[in-house]
Amino acid sequence: MVADLMDKIVSLAKRRGFVFPSAEIYGGLSGVWDYGPLGVLLKNNIKDAWWKAMVQERDDVEGLDSAILTHPTVLKASGHVDTFADALVECKQCHLRFRADEIGDACPECGGREFTEPRMFNTMFKTYFGPVEEEAAIVYLRPETAQGIFVNFLNVLNTTRRKLPFGIAQIGKAFRNEITTGNFIFRDREFEQMELEYFVKPGTDEEYHRYWAQERLNWYIRYGLRAENLRLRALEPEELAHYSKATVELEYRFPWGWSELEGIANRTDYDLRRHSEFSGKDLTYYDEETGQHIIPYVIEPSAGVDRVTLAFMLDAYDEEPDKEGIRVVLRFHPAIAPIKVAVLPLSKREPLIRVAKEIHRELRKYWVVDYDETQSIGRRYRRQDEIGTPYCVTVDFQTLEDNAVTIRDRDTMAQVRVPIPELRAALAERLNAG
């Protein structure tokens, strides 16, 4: 059943255009994925919901979009050049390579019990900077978006005149040459992060750490993940990253077990202090209350968009028996659903199509709205259920007489009749209610 659910999600994602293996016609690129027409909508909605809660609805957070190509000294200062490495071992029998902490007693591939000595493997991607490869400097593709925030700390502070506590939020791509990838879009080599660096006065860091762990848990529940599938787990000291004083993992009950969706770390003053040392720039904050220059502490909630997308798909997936067999439904929260409304004429008769297209043209000014006139109405409802469209609007023969349409609810399948002039308001009420 466990593998079953993952298989169903992977196949639905491919069949309906959520996620495709990257460069599939050339055999794919492992740990790299492309998001299709529905996937890009779903992922954008997740990022928008995060930005809304973390930036738009708050008065203490600014946004940022920093570069992916990263100056090598940034990552030297951050510790990534020296310590962002996994221990790699090779099975002496099948010669596959694994992370040393993943193998247990035997090779997961062939059962072999002999391995090479672990050697450290830095997982950052490098590339050449400049037109002549031999002379070019090496730069890195960022392994986390966070460093772009730290190196812009002064710029943002000076341009916004923020007072502590305040945060800087960023969403963007990150790259890690993971030794092993897997579980679909859970562990990738190219992925996206949604990160907040929240700067606080030293001494208040533990309180804000607790606050952000709870805020982040609430966000997932607000957008529809089931509370029983979420938990917070404090990491053991030996599990902590090199910059962290304490980290709480926000975990989701994936089909293979509890795994990290995001980490909420107390990074102390580690990054700003190191960047001060390496750049020679004063990255302190002047505290007017005490008249002292201090290096702020940082609380960092950091989530992976791809993992969160997978969790939303798994959590939304439902099947129920119906007269045609099994109805598959993605019960997405309306804000997360890729398509909000589908407009469906009951038949292909011209007067119905004309009205349906007119409604479609009007509603798409406000939401992502689908239009579908092919096959039976039952089949079309099922197609929309399977991709999580919360509402279908059906134009039928009676519409031509009473100028009204039906709104069908994805979850209850209940239908209500609404006059066309009131349709937009009726949908807005339903879509925003969630």
Q: Tell me the closest approach of the beta carbon of residue 354 to ligand GAP, in angstroms.
A: 47
Tokens of 126: 């490098």
Beta carbon of residue 124, minimum distance to ligand GAP (angstroms, whole number): 12
Is residue 389 within 8 Å of 327, Cβ to Cβ?
A: no
Q: How far apart are CA 113 and CA 103, in angstroms?
A: 10
- Work out how close the CB of 94 gets to ligand GAP at its nearest, in angstroms, rounded to a whole number: 23
Choose between 30 and 116: whose C-beta lies nearer to ligand GAP.
30
- CA 103 to chain CA mean position, Å: 28
Please tell me what DSSP assigns to residue 91: B
Q: Which is nearer to ligand GAP, 178 or 386 (CB)?
A: 178
Interface residue list for ligand GAP (CB under 6 A): 144, 146, 176, 178, 187-188, 191, 193, 195, 260-263, 300, 302-304, 306-307
- Which segments of 169-269 does DSSP mark as H helices, in order? 205-222
- Nearest residue to ligand GAP, by Cβ distance, number only: 304
Nearest CB to ligand GAP, comparing residues 142 and 408: 142
Give the E-state strand segments of 71-189 in sequence order: 85-90, 97-99, 119-122, 126-129, 137-141, 166-175
Phi then psi for residue 43, to 5 deg, are -65, -40
Nearest CA to 271 out of 212, 216, 195, 175 is that of 195
Q: Quick one: 39 or 304, whose CB is closer to ligand GAP?
A: 304
**Of 188 and 396, CB closest to ligand GAP:** 188
Would you call 219 exposed, middle or buried from its count of C-beta atoms within 10 A (0-12, 13-18, 19+)?
buried
- Residue 42 CA to residue 174 CA, distance in Å, equals 19
Min dist CB 304 to ligand GAP, Å, is: 3
Provide the minimum distance between the beta carbon of 194 and ligand GAP in the complex, in angstroms, as a whole number: 9
Based on CB atoms, which residue is closest to ligand GAP, 139 or 308? 308
In angstroms, give the least distance from the CB of 331 to ligand GAP: 23
CB of 178 to ligand GAP, least distance (A): 5
Are 336 and 69 contacting, i.e. CB atoms less than 8 angstroms apart?
no
Crossing angle for the helix pair 2-16 and 377-387, to the nearest 10 degrees: 110
Is residue 20 within a helix (H) or strand (E), and if so which, with residue range? strand 19-21
Whichever of 246 and 413 has its CB closer to ligand GAP, that residue is 246
